[in-house]
Chains A and B, each alone.
Chain A
Amino acid sequence: MLIGTLLVSSFVIYSALYLAPGNPIATLTGGRTPSPEAVRILEERYHLNDPFLVRYWDWLTGVLHGDFGVSIPLRQDVSTLIAERIGITLGLVVYAAIIILILGIGAGILAALRPGLIDSSVIVASTISAALPSFIAAIVLLLVFSVQLGWFPAFGPGEAGLDRIYHLTLPAIALALASLAIVSRVTRACVREELRREHVQTATSRGIPRHLVIRRHVLRNAAIPITTVAGLTIASLIALSAVVERAFALNGLGAYLIQAALSKDFAVVQGIALVLVVAFVVTNTVIDILYALLDPRVKLGERAS
């Protein structure tokens, strides 16, 4: 199933861009009319005359060996271009995921277990953050924390290491905010529901200390739906990271994908789109596996939606 989806997706990506109007020779020669000889050499070098399926097959086998082809406008290996940028995107998404998992699930659990002030504050905070699309959140964060308070840099990814984490903080928050709201609300609802379950009563009736009842029966069971929702939400950040990278001028995969789409650099678009789709599909598969591991009632491959 996983392999099938990935194969079909790669075919869709490749063929869509193959069929796109436009002439790579024109791009290569910068609009000047090349001599027939030059055209022949270029066609040979970039295999422009091979049949479609042959070229798809070449591309796919290349990709499996880590060769994503060549960017015609830049005359550079797409693999190298991707390798240079994947770290920033990965860092951004992982950073945002950590924020979501710790803050979102933490706040949700706290709200469920402590009705009253804490609960209401979490509800209010999540209502506000749910309404903030990532790119508007980015603007607000930039305005408050970079321009007015000067605490964080406005641009760029910084040097690798601690400086990178510092630079990625605002982008990660912008990316995480809306999802944070979803995850904390779902967590709160799931924990609440689980608290009311009869089997929790059974555990209590046996004189098990409350914190153990919460951990072993309430949180353990609520973890099943929470994992699914948090996982799906985090998976959706993979594509959304493009917008945030653009907002904070980070040279990650997404920002580069946008640039390549604008300049019709098809090899780069194909490569990055494939990487993002694979990441998305693999993340979803991992969620399915986790779900089956957490819930003994479920066999691998079925997810209660």
Chain B
Amino acid sequence: MSAMPATTPIETVDREPSVRGLPGLRGTGIVGHVCAAILALAVLIAIVGPLLAPYSATEISLSNSFVGPTGDHYLGFTGQGADLLSLLLLGARSSILGPLIVVVAAMVLGVVVAIISAWRGGIVDQVLSVIMDVLFAFPGILLAILAAAVFGASLQTAAIALAIAYAPYIARVLRAAAIRERSREYIAALEVQGFSAWLICLRHLVPNISGLIVAQGTILFGYAMVDLAAISYIGLGVQPPQPDWGVMVAQGQSGVLQGYPAESLAAGLCIIIVVVAVNLLGERLNARSQGSAR
């Protein structure tokens, strides 16, 4: 029988080969790093896309409708005769920065509500949770449609509506974490020393649940991206001729039916790549934040 040294770890869990990698991504493995790289590239394109795009969105000529790739037009033309590659590069801005704004707004709302709930407890907590319960009754897309009816269809309206619809979900998860954190000794110690509640929250509580906040934000980005693109797809988000991937899927649909699916598929693929990358990264960050909470 083989004798093993007594120091053999009890559990030998299969792990992805660990990468030393960036501090923010530690423990997310190779997949996490690849996904993060894809996202960084996507954000870069969102920012500098207009500089890279060889043609403008309005440079169209119907005679080029559905013409395939040619020398200067690597991906060919859309049904309206615009350069497809340029549209994708230009559309990245609203398609990626839009959800980013939704996430930031929803996280700020959610974090504030969660911390106030956790900190004050009692009546304040109850009132906030009733408000959140009512918001739960409105799915994001429905709230966005209502908002479009009231304020008119635009990216801003849709983004605000989604942020409000997502906030309760974030608040619920973070409230539980904040309550757990609040009951720790060190918070009581800080309170006894006379530090103000806001200072304790900002300097200690929020940083200590930041792993969870980042993980939840990442996962939320995937939802925001899909929902916002869907809203643009149904015509209540980004308004053409402003380029956007969701709008492109919709505008390419007539091409799909005529057997020219390039525009819809290319835009759809861009959305899917970013969403898959963000979801895989989010799962890993979430697993990590739960691992460290124990």
Direct contact between A and B judged by beta carbons closer than 8 A? yes
Task: Give A residues with C-beta under 8 Å from B.
Answer: 5-6, 8-9, 12-13, 16-17, 19-21, 130-136, 139-140, 142-143, 146-147, 154, 236, 238-240, 242-243, 246-247, 257-258, 260-262, 264, 266, 269, 273, 276-277, 280-281, 305
Query: Are A264 and B229 closer than 8 Å at their CB atoms?
Result: no
Query: Are A247 and B235 closer than 8 Å at their CB atoms?
Result: no
Query: Are A16 and B150 closer than 8 Å at their CB atoms?
Result: yes
Query: Are A139 and B141 closer than 8 Å at their CB atoms?
Result: no
User: Bound state CA distance, A91 and B257, in angstroms?
Assistant: 25
Q: Whole-angstrom distance from the CB of A15 to the nearest CB of chain B?
A: 10
User: Bound state CA distance, A6 and B134, in angstroms?
Assistant: 8
B65 CB-CB contact with A under 8 Å: no
Query: Are A273 and B142 closer than 8 Å at their CB atoms?
Result: yes
Q: Look across to chain B and name the residue whose beta carbon is closest to the beta carbon of A278.
A: B137
A9-B134, A139-B256 given; name 5 further pairs at CB < 8 Å: A9-B138, A16-B146, A17-B149, A136-B249, A247-B233
Query: Are B235 and A135 closer than 8 Å at their CB atoms?
Result: no
B230 CB-CB contact with A under 8 Å: yes
From A134, A143, A258, B256 is in contact (CB under 8 Å) with A143
Query: Are A131 and B234 closer than 8 Å at their CB atoms?
Result: no
From A132, A146, A261, A281, B146 is in contact (CB under 8 Å) with A261
From A146, A242, A260, B141 is in contact (CB under 8 Å) with A242
Q: Whole-angstrom distance from the CB of B80 to the nearest CB of chain A?
A: 17
Query: Are A17 and B236 closer than 8 Å at their CB atoms?
Result: no
Q: Whole-angstrom distance from the CB of A80 to the nearest CB of chain B?
A: 20
Query: Are B172 and A262 closer than 8 Å at their CB atoms?
Result: no
Residues of B close to A261: CB separation below 8 A: 145-146, 148-149, 153, 236
Q: Look across to chain A and name the residue whose beta carbon is closest to the beta carbon of B173.
A: A305
B74 CB-CB contact with A under 8 Å: no
Query: Are B134 and A139 closer than 8 Å at their CB atoms?
Result: no
Q: Whole-angstrom distance from the CB of B220 to the nearest CB of chain A?
A: 15
Q: Whole-angstrom distance from the CB of A178 to the nearest CB of chain B?
A: 8
Residues of A close to B261: CB separation below 8 A: 139, 143, 147
Within 193-242 of B, Cβ neighbours of A (below 8 Å) are at 226, 229-230, 233-236
Q: Write 17 A-B pairs (CB below 8 A) sorted by A numbering.
A: A6-B137, A16-B146, A21-B150, A133-B229, A135-B234, A135-B249, A239-B140, A239-B142, A240-B141, A242-B145, A258-B145, A260-B149, A261-B149, A261-B153, A266-B149, A273-B142, A277-B137
User: Bound state CA distance, A264 and B151, in angstroms?
Assistant: 10
Q: Mark B256-294, 1 if CB is under 8 A from A, else 0.
A: 110101001100100110011001000000000000000
Query: Are A238 and B139 closer than 8 Å at their CB atoms?
Result: yes
From A243, A247, A305, B253 is in contact (CB under 8 Å) with A247
Q: Look across to chain A and name the residue whose beta carbon is closest to the beta carbon of B272.
A: A131
B133 CB-CB contact with A under 8 Å: yes
Query: Are B235 and A262 closer than 8 Å at their CB atoms?
Result: yes
Residues of B close to A5: CB separation below 8 A: 133-134, 137
Query: Are B235 and A258 closer than 8 Å at their CB atoms?
Result: yes
Q: Whole-angstrom distance from the CB of B178 to the nearest CB of chain A?
A: 16
Residues of B close to A142: CB separation below 8 A: 253, 256-257
User: Bound state CA distance, A277 and B139, in angstroms?
Assistant: 8
Residues of A close to B268: CB separation below 8 A: 136, 139-140
